[in-house]
């Protein structure tokens, strides 16, 4: 295997890796299409996993916006801060469950709703603390203006959850591994381009589906002085329900895409696709 040229290696992986459902280096279009196929084949599990944080998103999103309709007292600001914190936490956990499930699906392993949640809950402490630690070097990009934040966020966060959940390492080791995967050979630039392209697509689809949630919010603004408080709260809840259901439908696709990027990085950096192919070679009758 070591005597193969890069071209021969890529041909081997593409021909046999596809048959064995193994990840291999992909271009942007191929990765977008593969993400859609994986999401389509595992829709019930991935969408079901996304519904749990969506439910909490409805609750905490409503609580976070509720103080705008009430007197500006200190207790309401504290309530809003708590709601946003819990919203971020449940989003990270829910996204993590989708990542774990996507990783298993990409490697051709069976996935289930229960296994995905158990996997992320077992790693919850390591996940939240590692993300918290990585936040500080990522925010150092503020010194380089908006472009700097984007660069450092990609460098420290792009596939960090994938590393924590799929490799079972955390804290500074996980952050260091993340940087090692992205930094050499300008991989961070390719990941940044893929990240921006996919986020634009996901955002466009989210807006296309979720524009209905704007109508109740618009009604709240127009009727702020006229509509009774219960009616405004009802409109707020309706808006949050539609918005969170839209996120539950769209975001698992992005989770699959970002997990594919993680495997793509490992394939390019460590030839893990070739290793996985060799491990499964016997199943091909050789």
Domain ranges for the chain = 27-272
pTM for the predicted model, two decimal places: 0.81
Cα 118 to Cα 140: distance, rounded to the nearest angstrom: 34
Given a contact cutoff of 8 angstroms between Cβ atoms, the answer to whether 87 and 150 are in contact is no
Q: What confidence tens digit (pLDDT) does each residue in 139-157 have?
A: 887 777 767 778 888 889 9
Cα 168 to Cα 180: distance, rounded to the nearest angstrom: 17
**Residue listed under structure tokens 């895409």:** 257
- Report, in angstroms and rounded to the nearest whole number, the Rg of the chain calculated over CA atoms: 21
The confidence score (pLDDT) of residue 224 equals: 62
Given a contact cutoff of 8 angstroms between Cβ atoms, the answer to whether 163 and 174 are in contact is yes
Around 249, how many Cα atoms within 13 Å sit in the side-chain half-sphere?
13
The token pair that represents 283 in the structure block? 């199943």
The confidence score (pLDDT) of residue 164 equals: 95
Q: What confidence tens digit (pLDDT) does each residue in 162-174 have?
A: 999 999 999 999 9
Residue 227, Cβ neighbours under 10 Å: how many?
A: 16
| Per-residue three-class SS string for the chain | CCCCCHHHHHHHHHHHHHHCCCCCCCCHHHHHHHHHHHHHHCHHHHHHHHHHHHHHHHHHHHHHHHHHHCCCCHHHHHHHHHHHHHHHHHHHHHHHHHHHHHHHHHCCCCCCHHHHHHHHHHCHHHHHHHHHHHHHHHHHHHHHHHHHHHHHHHHHHCCHHHHHHHHCCCHHHHHHHHHHHHCHHHHHHHHHHHHHHHHHHHHHHHHHHHHHHHHHHHHHHHCCCCCCHHHHHHHHHHHHHHHHHHHHHHHHHHHHHHHHHHHHHHHHHHCHHHHHHHHCHHHHCC
Residue 272, Cβ neighbours under 10 Å: how many?
A: 16
Cα 283 to Cα 279: distance, rounded to the nearest angstrom: 9
Which residues, 6 or more positions from 91, have their beta carbon under 8 angstroms from its beta carbon? Answer: 53, 57
Dihedral in degrees, nearest 10, Cα atoms 250, 126, 58, 247: -10
The confidence score (pLDDT) of residue 89 equals: 81
Residues of the chain with pLDDT under 70: 1-24, 64-76, 146, 213, 216-227, 229, 271-286
**Largest separation between any pair of C-alpha atoms in the chain:** 77
Q: What confidence tens digit (pLDDT) does each residue in 205-233 have?
A: 998 887 776 776 666 666 666 667 677 77
For the stretch 214-219, contacts whose Cβ atoms lie closer than 8 Å and that sit 24 or more positions apart, written own/partner, are: 214/239, 215/239, 216/242
């Amino acid at each position: 295997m070591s005597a193969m040229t890069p071209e021969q290696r890529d041909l081997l992986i593409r021909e046999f890796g596809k048959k064995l459902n193994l990840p291999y280096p992909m271009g942007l279009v191929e990765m977008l299409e593969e993400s859609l196929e994986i999401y389509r084949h595992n829709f019930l599990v991935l969408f079901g996993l996304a519904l749990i944080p969506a439910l909490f998103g409805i609750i905490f999103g409503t609580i976070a916006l509720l103080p705008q309709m009430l007197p500006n007292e200190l207790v309401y600001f504290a309530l809003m801060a708590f709601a946003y914190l819990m919203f971020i936490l449940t989003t990270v956990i829910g996204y993590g469950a989708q990542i774990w499930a996507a990783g298993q699906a990409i490697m051709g392993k069976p996935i289930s709703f229960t296994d995905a949640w158990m996997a992320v809950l077992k790693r919850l402490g390591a996940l939240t603390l590692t993300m918290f630690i990585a936040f500080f070097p990522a925010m150092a990009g503020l010194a380089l203006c908006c472009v700097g934040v984007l660069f450092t966020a990609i460098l420290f966060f792009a596939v960090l959850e994938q590393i924590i959940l799929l490799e079972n390492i955390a804290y500074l080791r996980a952050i260091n591994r993340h940087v090692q995967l992205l930094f050499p050979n300008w991989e961070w630039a390719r990941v940044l381009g893929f990240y921006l392209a996919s986020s634009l697509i996901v955002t466009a689809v989210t807006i296309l589906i979720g524009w209905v949630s704007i109508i109740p919010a618009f009604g709240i603004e127009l009727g702020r002085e006229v509509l009774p408080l219960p009616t405004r709260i009802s409109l707020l809840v309706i808006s949050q329900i539609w918005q969170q259901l839209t996120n539950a439908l769209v975001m698992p696709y992005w989770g699959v895409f970002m997990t594919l990027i993680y495997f793509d990085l490992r394939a390019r950096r460590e030839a893990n696709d070739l290793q996985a192919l060799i491990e499964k070679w016997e199943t091909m009758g050789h």
